[in-house]
Amino acid sequence: MSCFTTGSPPSCGLSMDNDSSPSNTSRRNSLSDVSVDLESSENVYLVTGGAGFIGSHVSDYLLSRGDKVVIVDEMNDYYDVRLKESNLNYLSSQHSNNLKFVVYRGDICDKDFIDNIFKIEKITHVCHLAARAGVRASIADPFIYVHSNVEGTTRLLDLSRLYRIKNFVYASSSSVYGCSNLSLLSEDDVVEKPVSPYAATKKACELLAYTYHHLYGMNCTGLRFFTVYGPRGRPDMAPFKFIDRVYNSLPIQQYGDGSTSRDYTYIDDIVDGVVRAIDRPLGYEVINLGNGRPFQLKAFIQLVEESVGKKAIIELCPEQPGDVERTCANINKAKSLLGYDPKTPFEIGISLTAQWYKNASSNGLFDSNEVTSSSNETLVPIPSISKQKSIDKLKRSESDLELSSFVEKATRQVHMRMKRFFNSPTK
Ligand SMILES: NC(=O)c1ccc[n+]([C@@H]2O[C@H](COP(=O)([O-])OP(=O)(O)OC[C@H]3O[C@@H](n4cnc5c(N)ncnc54)[C@H](O)[C@@H]3O)[C@@H](O)[C@H]2O)c1
């Protein structure tokens, strides 16, 4: 495994005109301006966001099947950086002697940095998972979302065009469905009313991918993930939060009578769907990757209690205006185009997640007294989420309890959240 930081970006002395000015537009229709040798006998997969939850699992899978994987991640502190470092440590322990595993630390928006990676590593496939994720934080600071998600995706699409990448697969999100009151969410639904900056950036990525497909014939598949959970899961998501709070005897809030249900997708099924999409260039497609079997909130809480081995302290709260009764991914398209067939029942998935959590917790991974920021500098300073704020996050404030998949439902909720954020003492 090789590891590079943004302080020492690779350089190969080749120059490439990647000017995005309009005067270059006509040249872009031809790919003849690529000045490097693009012949490569092996597939090389660029996994952006590879230190994150889904990216580290996808990388693990690709490395295990013998592929070359190049990870790029800026290791930002949207959540505790130790979790991302631990993901990379896990990968390097699993693939320690693997010369096909390279990690670069840096921002996907940094043109020279990322351009050099395409050049040096001879990338053939892009699996673009890097993003600022999370609905609530995007309401608080939309600008870093536009930076990482929209500018970052455009940068990667443009380099993929230039280097004639065989397939560009990227993460979209079920959040693009916004306030839809349909209980079965399908790719053909009109999704033009995103209710958070995060959702709007994800929709923008789908539109940009279409444009690159239209102009240059690129293969671009967008995957709309439905609440992904599992070992090494994101701490801002409901499955992790519920397990964490029940394990630590902290109260959890149940909105309404707990009868609302949501589609949760186990990480192994998502990895299977992502890899199937990478292996199958499809022109332009947007595909739901969910479980297709929604689970009720109150049953979810019971399951967490059983898996953790403790009773939950439940605070009953009034139903949130705008919360829909049930959301469920229509996964027929994924089945027919990708052969996707999610296999993990929620009961099994939560139990595996709780097992991982208990292990990681007893190894001190979630200890709140020693929050470290990334040991190497991140390329772009992150003004809105300071170290102090990450420490506060670990204090597990009450407002953390919102289910991220429950968040994007009503204008009033968004308003309440804004109010709470701006009144928060950490702001
Ligand atoms: N987890 C879910 O339930 C879910 C649901 C819908 C969509 N998604 C999408 O799937 C993708 C992966 O999500 P995840 O849950 O693994 O999130 P994650 O936050 O664990 O991983 C994303 C990674 O991207 C990196 N990153 C962010 N901006 C970057 C930049 N500018 N340059 C380089 N690296 C950058 C972060 O440091 C992080 O490690 C994201 O695009 C997310 O929006 C996730």
Q: Calculate helix-pair angle for 53-64, 81-94, nearest 10 degrees.
A: 10
Which domain does 203 fall in, by range?
A: 3-318+326-422
In a domain, 351, yes or no: yes
β pairing state of 295-296 and 261-262 = antiparallel
Q: Which residues line ligand 1 (CB under 6 A)?
A: 48-49, 51-55, 72-76, 78, 84, 107-109, 129-133, 148, 152, 171, 173, 225, 227-228, 234, 237
- DSSP-assigned beta bridge partners for residue 125: 45, 167
For residue 301, the Cα-to-chain-centroid distance in whole angstroms is 24
Q: Is residue 207 part of a domain?
A: yes
- How many whole angstroms separate alpha carbon 227 and alpha carbon 174? 8
Which residue among 170, 198, 229, 340 is the active-site one?
Answer: 198
Question: Structure tokens of 27?
Answer: 């040249």
- pLDDT at residue 335, as a whole number: 98
List phi, psi (to 5°) of 4: -125, 150
* pLDDT at site 249: 97
Looking at residue 99, the DSSP 8-state letter turns out to be T
265 membership: H or E segment, kind and range = strand 265-266
Pocket perturbation via mutation, ligand 1, pick of 5, 46, 47, 54 by most ligand atoms within 8 A of CB: 54
Q: What is the pLDDT of residue 5?
A: 58
The beta strand positions in 74-176, using DSSP E, are 101-105, 125-128, 167-173
First to last CA, the chain: 40
Place of tokens 């309404």: 256
CA neighbor of 129 nearest in space, from 98, 87, 187:
87
Ligand 1 pocket test target in 48, 73, 382 with most atoms within 8 Å of CB: 73
- Ligand 1: distance of its center to the CA of 148 in Å? 10
- pLDDT at 321 (0 to 100): 66
78 an active-site residue?
no
Candidate from 111, 225, 263, 384 with most ligand 1 atoms within 8 A of CB, to mutate: 225
Total of domains in the chain = 1
| pLDDT < 50 stretches in the chain | 7-39, 370-418, 420-422, 424-427
Amino acid, res. 413: Q
Residue 334: give its domain's CATH number. Answer: 3.40.50.720
CA angle 272, 172, 58 (to 5 degrees): 30
Does residue 184 lie in a domain region?
yes
Determine the pLDDT at residue 3.
Answer: 66
Residues 326-339 pLDDT 10s:
889 999 999 999 99
Distance 109 CA to ligand 1 centre (A): 14
* Domain assignment of residue 427, yes or no: no
